[in-house]
Every structure is written in structure tokens, then in C-alpha cells.
């Protein structure tokens, strides 16, 4: 069933009796060509593109809980491609282009909203670094614009221009950046994949891999063994736990990142704004809540919750930048588990075990990468070769010395 305005009207006039489940609830088959572990954004997108772009059949996504319950359902919904390094920028620009056609592609309104992202600049050194970055973006075919303080003031008059500890000196804008209704991304991919025949199996936890002679032939799950020619893992913050079952250690730590939303407010912020002198970035959802976040709590965690010092740190950044939001009330805080890699960049690669593939290390940039991650992982699974925009995302880059370190923080995941 295709979704459209006409369909909504027709159903409204006939008692909404015609709506069908957005995806089926199939019983797992005994084996598949492809089993994707992880019913989050990346896993579902992988299945969708495997079926659609690579014409693969017999695909299952298995999810230990309910789909979209991991980081795709608990992020701050931002999309952008404002990366610096050659290993990253083409990939994220590919992703942004996929976002731009996504809703028509999978027939689901995920509210891709390109209202722009603005990274504020507070020092000359920052300006130099952002100039280099903006140029890298443009040279890679993305859009970027350097805004003056006056241009920023016109768009965001309520930023702290008067008594700031770290005055705003400009900003790097990407107008094609923006936000997306995050849950709808998972649902759109799930529905799209389901319509292409993918089995989405919820409440099915992987308890082990069946590996013999260096070959993976399937997964043990709480719903029995499921055979697979190829198994792809896309479980973000749970990567360490899952891959340990295949005997692997990863260049990844799991950290908690908190995010926040205020009560609904009439429109204040058109786009995304990031503070360059503190840990704070913010956008406003279509419902009116200010959605904001900041830094990691900083310690390894699988707990999906954080502590007060980080909440305070983020709100201090918010007040330093936007003293006008002081009386807006923080409504809800939550934590997601980030798969923080050793250089801040992801891995989409085969493992040393035949038939076992890995996608992870997204740090807190996974949401915006969802379409490209799915596409590139599907490409790898289908062809056994990395996609041309994801050639740098290899396991061995640390051993060989090809780190992709946007922030220049080295092998300390909580600083990326």
C-alpha cells in the first residue's frame, strides 16, 4: 500500500479500516542469504538497499527488542555533511544526497528538513580551521558558506552578542544540513524493506555466532538458530558485546551521550546551531521542543543514562550562547550508547571471519550517516568490496597508520 495525501483522505472517510501494518511480523526462516543483526537505522537501511539496489533476496533483519529503539530513536536528529577529511567528506555528502531524495524513495515522510546548520566561530584559529573545512566541503561538491557576525545576528538575533565570555566571530553554515524526524527513518526503512520482502524479526536476540574453520554460517538467537550465507552486524553501542561473541576485540569503546528536549515552544530556531566554545548544539523540532545536546559523559557505559555534571555543562553552554532560553524548561533527558571508535570515524568492513561483516564505530555521528551507511554496507555485503565512498573505513587502518581523525584527538574515544 502506497502512502499519499489521497490515501489519508480516503481512509479518513472510510473509518481508517484500510491501513495495514507498516511491516509484517514474520516467523524467522531457518536460513537466509543475508542476516543483518540490529534493527536500528543502519541495519534497516542496509536491508533496504540490499534488496533495492543490489536485488538481493532472502534477507532478514533481527532485532533483540523493537526496531528503531537504539540510537536512531534517541539522537538529536541532525543531518549534515560538514566534514574535513578526504576519508569522510565524500561519504557524508553521499549520505546527505540520499537524505534529499529519501522520502520519495521509500514512500514515507521522514520530515527531512534542510533548514541549515551553523557552526559558530569564536577565535581566529577556529576561523582558520573552519575555512579549511568549508573549502574541503566545497571541493568535495558539498555546500558551505562563511557567515559574518552581522549575517548571524540577522538570523539568530537572540544569541549572546553583547556580554559573551567567548564572543561570536562568525560561523560556517551548511544550508543543506538540517534535521529529520528520527523515528520515521527507522520506520520508513523498515516499511520499505518489508515491501521488498525483507523479514524484520523483532524480539530476537543474538546469543552467539556459529563459526567453524573461520567461516560464519549463521547466528544462534533466542528464537533458535538462523543460518546465513552472510551475516552483517550493525549494532552501534552494542558492537563490543556482540563481536565479543565472535571472539573479536574492536577499536571501539561504548560511551553514554545524553540528549535533551524542552517543552514545546512556538518557533524560535529555524536551523541547527552549534556553540564553538562550549558543549552545546540545538535545533527545534517541528513539534516545538528545543532538542539539544553536548558532550559525552566521558566514561565507558552501557547504561543509556547519564549524570548531572554533563547536564549542567550542556545547559551552561546553552545559557552562554542563548541567554533567552533560560526560562524554557528541560522536559526530558536520555542517554544513548555510542560506539566511539579510536579515531572518531566508522568502520564498514569484512572481519577476519568469512561471512561475517561489521558496521560500527559511528561515535555520535551515526544518524546522519544512516542512508550512506546502509548503502555502503549493502554494497560490501553484496559485492565483497567496499563502496567507493567508504574505502577508508577499514579495520586495519589503525595498524597501518591511516587514521581518519577529524578532531585530532588520537586514540582516546571519549574526546572524539
Partner 1 sequence: MIINHPLLGPRDAQEFTYLGDANLINRPDWQAEDAVDQFHEYLYQRDNPAGKHRELWYHEAGDRSWLVVTRDTLTHEITGVELARDVALKSGRGK
Partner 2 sequence: MTQTMRLGGGMIDRSKPLNFRFDGKSYQGFDGDTLASALMANDVRLIGRSFKYHRPRGVLTAGSDEPNALVELREGARREPNSRATVAELFDGLVAQSQNRWPSLSFDALAINDRFSNFLTAGFYYKTFMWPAAFWEKLYEPIIRRAAGLGSLSLAEDPDSYDKGFLHCDLLIIGAGPAGLSAALTAARAGAEIILADEDFRLGGRLNSETHPLDDAPASDWINASIAELESLPNVRLMPRTTVIGAFDHGIFGAVERVSDHLLTPPEGKPRQTLWRIYTKRSLLAAGAAERPIAFPNNDRPGILLAGALQSYVNRWAATPARRIAVFTNNDTGHRTALDLIAKGIEIAAVIDPRPDVTRTGDYPLLAGAVVSNTAGRLGLKSIEVRLASGEMRRLECQALAVSGGWNPNVHMTCHKRGLPVWDEGIAAFVPGETGAQGMFVAGAAEGRFSTADALTRGMEQAIVALGELDRKAHTIALPKAENDTGSITPCWQVKGGKGRAWLDFQNDVTTKDVKLAHQEGFRSVEHLKRYTTLGMATDQGKTANMGALAIMAELAGKSIPETGTTIYRPPYTPVAIAAFAGRSRGTDFRPTRLTPSHQWAVEQGAVFVETGNWLRAQWFPRPGETDWRQSVDREVLATRRSVGICDVTTLGKIDIQGSDAATFINKVYANGFAKLPVGKTRYGLMLREDGIVMDDGTTARLAEDHFVMTTTTANAVSVYRHLEFARQCLWPGLDVQLISTTEAWAQFAVAGPNSRKLLEKIVDKNFDISNEAFPFMACGEITVCGGLRARLFRISFSGELAFEIAVPSRYGDALIRQLMQAGEEFEATPYGTEALGVMRIEKGHAAGNELNGTTTALNLGMARMVSKTKDSIGSTLSEREGLNQPDALMQVGLRPLDKSRKVTAGAHLMVRTAAANAKNDQGYITSACYSPNLGHSIGIGFLKNGAERKGEILRAVSPLTNLEIEVEVVSAHFIDPEGKRLHA
Site string for partner 2, 48-87 (x = CB under 8 A): -----------------xx-xx---x------------x-
Q: Given strand 170-174, what is the order of strands in its sheet?
A: 145-147, 170-174, 117-121, 272-274, 281-284, 289-300
Q: Is 7 in the site for partner 1 (CB under 8 A)?
A: no
Distance of alpha carbon 9 from the chain centroid: 33
At 163, is the secondary structure helix, strand, or coil?
Answer: coil
Determine the interface stretch with partner 1 among 40-48, 177-185, 224-232, 405-413 (rule: CB under 8 A). Answer: 405-413
The Cα 275–Cα 289 span in angstroms is 18
**Contact call for residues 262 and 387 (beta carbons, < 8 A):** no
Q: How far is the CB of 252 from partner 1 (least distance, A)?
A: 6
Among 31, 210, 315, 354, binds partner 2 (CB under 8 A): 315
Q: How far is the CB of 325 from partner 2 (least distance, A)?
A: 5
Please report the sign of the dihedral spanned by the C-alpha atoms of residue 317, residue 322, residue 326, residue 332.
Answer: negative
The Cα 247–Cα 257 span in angstroms is 27
Q: Which residues of 298-328 are buried (b: 16+ CB within 10 A; e: fewer)?
A: beebeebebeeebbebbbebbebbbeebeeb
Among 53, 263, 384, 388, binds partner 2 (CB under 8 A): 263
Determine the interface stretch with partner 1 among 11-19, 80-88, 168-176, 303-311 (rule: CB under 8 A). Answer: 303-311
Distance of alpha carbon 14 from the chain centroid: 38
Nearest partner of 356 among 246, 220, 206, judged by Cα: 246
Closer Cβ to partner 1, 228 or 337, answer by number = 337
| Residue 37, contacted partner among partner 1, partner 2, none, CB below 5-8 A by kind | none
**Contact call for residues 59 and 51 (beta carbons, < 8 A):** yes
Closer Cβ to partner 1, 25 or 396, answer by number = 396
The footprint of partner 1 on this chain (CB under 8 A) covers a number of residues equal to 26
Q: Is 206 in the site for partner 2 (CB under 8 A)?
A: no
Q: Based on the number of CB atoms within 10 Å of its own CB, is 213 exposed (0-12), middle (13-18) or buried (19 or more)?
A: exposed
Q: How far is the CB of 381 from partner 1 (least distance, A)?
A: 24
**Contact call for residues 219 and 230 (beta carbons, < 8 A):** no
Determine the interface stretch with partner 2 among 184-192, 223-231, 234-242, 346-354 (rule: CB under 8 A). Answer: 184-192
Q: Is 82 in the site for partner 1 (CB under 8 A)?
A: no
Q: Is 66 in the site for partner 1 (CB under 8 A)?
A: no
| Residue 207, contacted partner among partner 2, partner 1, none, CB below 5-8 A by kind | none
**Contact call for residues 341 and 361 (beta carbons, < 8 A):** yes
Site string for partner 2, 110-149 (x = CB under 8 A): xxxxxx------xx-x-xxxxxxxxxxxxxxx--xxx---
Closer Cβ to partner 1, 120 or 404, answer by number = 404
Q: How far is the CB of 283 from partner 1 (least distance, A)?
A: 28
Among 113, 254, 258, 284, binds partner 1 (CB under 8 A): 254
Whole-angstrom CA distances from 249 to 220, 284, 405 are: 20, 39, 20
Among 300, 323, 328, 409, binds partner 1 (CB under 8 A): 300
Among 323, 354, 382, 414, binds partner 2 (CB under 8 A): 323
The Cα 143–Cα 136 span in angstroms is 10
Q: Is 214 in the site for partner 1 (CB under 8 A)?
A: no
Strand-pairing partners, residue 349, are 358
Determine the interface stretch with partner 2 among 212-220, 320-328, 355-363, 364-372 (rule: CB under 8 A). Answer: 320-328
Site string for partner 1, 323-362 (x = CB under 8 A): -------------------x--------------------
Q: Which residues of 96-126 are buried (b: 16+ CB within 10 A; e: fewer)?
A: bbbbeebbeebebebbbbbebbbbbbbeeeb
| Residue 302, contacted partner among partner 2, partner 1, none, CB below 5-8 A by kind | partner 1
Strand-pairing partners, residue 358, are 233, 349
The residue ranges that bind partner 1 (CB under 8 A) are 238-241, 244, 249-254, 298-303, 307, 309, 342, 398-399, 411-414
Amino acid at each position: 500500500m502506497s502512502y499519499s495525501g489521497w490515501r489519508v483522505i480516503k481512509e479518513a472517510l472510510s473509518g481508517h479500516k484500510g491501513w495495514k501494518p507498516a511491516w509484517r511480523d514474520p516467523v524467522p526462516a531457518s536460513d537466509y542469504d543475508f542476516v543483518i543483526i540490529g534493527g536500528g537505522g543502519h541495519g534497516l537501511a542496509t536491508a533496504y538497499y540490499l534488496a533495492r539496489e543490489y536485488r538481493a533476496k532472502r534477507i532478514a533483519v533481527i532485532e533483540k527488542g523493537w526496531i528503531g529503539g537504539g540510537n536512531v530513536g534517541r539522537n538529536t536528529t541532525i543531518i549534515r555533511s560538514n566534514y574535513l577529511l578526504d576519508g569522510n567528506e565524500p561519504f557524508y555528502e553521499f549520505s546527505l544526497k540520499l537524505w534529499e531524495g529519501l522520502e520519495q524513495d521509500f514512500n514515507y515522510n521522514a520530515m527531512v528538513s534542510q533548514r541549515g546548520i551553523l557552526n559558530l566561530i569564536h577565535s581566529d584559529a577556529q576561523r582558520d580551521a573552519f575555512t579549511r573545512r568549508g573549502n574541503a566541503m566545497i571541493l568535495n561538491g558539498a555546500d558551505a558558506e562563511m557567515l559574518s557576525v552581522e549575517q548571524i545576528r540577522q538570523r539568530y538575533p537572540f544569541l549572546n552578542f553583547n556580554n559573551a565570555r567567548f564572543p561570536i566571530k562568525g560561523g560556517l553554515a551548511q544550508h543543506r544540513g538540517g534535521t529529520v524526524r528520527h523515528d520515521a527513518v527507522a520506520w520508513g526503512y523498515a516499511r520499505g524493506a518489508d515491501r521488498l520482502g525483507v523479514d524484520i524479526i523483532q524480539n530476537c536476540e543474538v546469543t552467539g555466532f556459529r563459526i567453524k574453520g573461520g567461516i560464519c554460517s549463521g547466528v544462534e538467537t533466542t528464537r533458535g538458530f538462523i543460518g546465513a550465507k552472510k551475516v552483517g552486524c550493525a549494532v552501534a553501542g552494542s558492537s563490543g558485546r556482540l563481536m565479543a561473541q565472535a571472539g573479536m576485540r574492536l577499536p571501539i569503546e561504548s560511551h553514554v551521550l545524553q540528549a535533551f528536549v524542552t517543552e514545546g515552544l512556538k518557533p524560535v530556531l529555524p536551523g541547527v546551531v552549534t556553540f564553538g566554545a562550549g558543549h552545546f548544539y540545538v535545533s527545534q523540532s517541528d513539534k516545538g521542543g528545543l532538542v539539544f545536546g553536548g558532550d559525552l559523559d566521558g566514561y565507558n557505559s552501557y547504561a543509556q543514562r547519564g549524570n548531572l555534571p554533563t547536564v549542567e555543562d550542556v545547559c551552561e553552554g546553552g545559557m552562554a550562547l542563548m541567554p533567552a532560553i533560560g526560562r524554557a524548561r528541560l522536559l526530558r533527558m536520555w542517554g544513548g550508547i555510542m560506539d566511539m571508535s579510536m579515531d572518531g570515524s566508522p568502520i564498514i568492513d569484512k572481519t577476519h571471519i568469512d561471512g561475517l561483516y561489521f558496521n560500527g564505530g559511528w561515535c555520535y555521528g551515526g544518524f546522519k550517516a544512516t542512508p550512506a551507511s546502509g548503502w555502503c554496507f549493502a554494497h560490501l555485503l553484496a559485492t565483497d568490496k567496499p563502496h567507493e565512498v567508504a574505502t577508508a573505513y577499514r579495520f586495519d587502518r589503525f595498524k597501518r597508520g591511516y587514521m581518519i581523525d577529524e578532531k585530532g584527538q588520537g586514540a582516546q574515544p571519549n574526546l572524539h
